[in-house]
Amino acid sequence: MAPKHRTLLSALILLVLLSIQHCSGGGEHDYHDALRKSILFFEGQRSGKLPPDQRIKWRKDSALHDGADAGVDLTGGYYDAGDNVKFVFPMAFTTTLLSWSIIDFKRNMGSDLGNAVKAVKWATDFLLKATAKEGVIYVQVGDAFSDHSCWERPEDMDTLRTVYKIDQNHPGSDVAGEVAAALAAASIVFRSLDSSYSTLLLDRAVKVFEFANRHRGAYSSSLHSAVCPFYCDFDGYQDELLWGAAWLHKATRRRRYREYIVKNEVVLRAGDTINEFGWDNKHAGINVLISKEVLMGRAPDLKSFQVNADAFICSILPGISHPQVQYSPGGLIVKPGVCNMQHVTSLSFLFLAYSNYLSHANHAVPCGSMSATPALLKHIAKRQVDYILGDNPQRMSYMVGYGPHYPLRIHHRGSSLPSKAAHPARIGCKEGSHYFFSPNPNPNRLIGAVVGGPNLTDSFPDARPFFQESEPTTYVNAPLVGLLAYFSAHP
């Protein structure tokens, strides 16, 4: 089709998106305020000994003996969601995406950059502990089944804090590959801030990747009874190996990682499942990340990754997207599974990052009979962010504490139970059930938390038992940090 017709079709998609935004009550947003709150959220998810500058005051020290039964110090890190377990797989992905947000958008973060860096370091300090023993990676702290049978504050936690690990006899290339990616990405963040810490992160990333590559296998095969059905690796470990290599190449510029990527592109299935990106599936992220090199003219031998990235973009566009990607009447990206907002923020982040790479190369994405310009990709990403912040049929912000109307009964133990200051006495495992089923708003606001969000019909039950809709996670917020940073400077 002629370029003129492609441009017309691109304009048509833009008009459809604009009409959806108008019907959903589009308005101006304070992206800087939302950015500040999205970073603050991570302080509410902290485990361990809290620092003096802790800003979410209703949280107190918790899980101070993690790892003791195994003879290691595994205190610190993040609770991934509304429970009290530390799952390293999603924690590492959160770290990678927080780091990527800073790497690409730190110039837009202003005074919030320092707190964003602290959020990364709270995770990397823990990941360094989890990888300190040669040939072993600790991948989970806490028995998820006993934890999920209780509703109690992390400060009161008395459920099993069982420690789970991978080693050469029980491999986990998926979680190890993600940890390597997280450490490598974070090393870039700290390169100009703390060179010795950056070097420590990068050296550890190299060792962890070597372990992941040498002892191949999925951690949910080795630790199935502990990690499934919570964070099973449904997608296989191959993508995490490529993902780890891609970040190590970006951090080191060493030829061996580039050669690894070229050699293993087909073997590790770089082009698979192009319309998904999250803690379990890194394919789209790999292709977008590597495509930056191609678009800058520095890696013509990696052109196939750009082709894959273009295909990913086309698979998400409204009107021509893949059957697994739908848009609600209000314009929200909807994919099957738990916690839909993880798809919204992660896919939107890739749209924004790729649009910037395309802009520098003066390139657009050919999608059959149309052309997806960088401006169109930015608009789609911004539309998703605006939906989260309140431009939707419910007129509700899905970020706690942002705007006049937001979820009040989120599925989160610490938020829903009285704080230690309000109720110093211990609240036992089953005593918390009263608060779980209560229709009252949560007594503690977890500022900045973005919940799982509405369904395909834009409806949202603001109730704790509906965990798919009402539970926040760290890996929803991590890519949103980058999105909000950009739009705070380019509204």
80, 174, 178, 471: the active-site residue: 471
Tell me which amino acid residue 262 is: V
CA dihedral 144, 49, 452, 383 (to 10 degrees): -150
22 as an active site residue: the answer is no
- Contact between residue 184 and residue 248 where contact means Cβ atoms under 8 Å apart: yes
Tell me which amino acid residue 482 is: G
- Report which DSSP code applies to 340: T
Phi and psi dihedrals of 326, rounded to 5? -125, 165
Could you tell me which residues come within 8 angstroms of residue 467 by beta carbon, excluding any fewer than 6 positions away? 82, 338, 411, 452
Tell me which amino acid residue 223 is: L
Cis amide leading into 229 (omega within 30):
yes
What is the enclosing helix (H) or strand (E) of 88?
Answer: helix 88-105
DSSP string for 205-250? HHHHHHHHHHS---HHHHSHHHHTTTS--SS-SHHHHHHHHHHHHH
The position carrying tokens 């052109």 is 303
CA 360 and chain centroid, separation: 26
210 as an active site residue: the answer is no
411, 412, 458, 469: the active-site residue: 411
411 as an active site residue: the answer is yes
- Active-site residues, by number, are 411, 462, 471
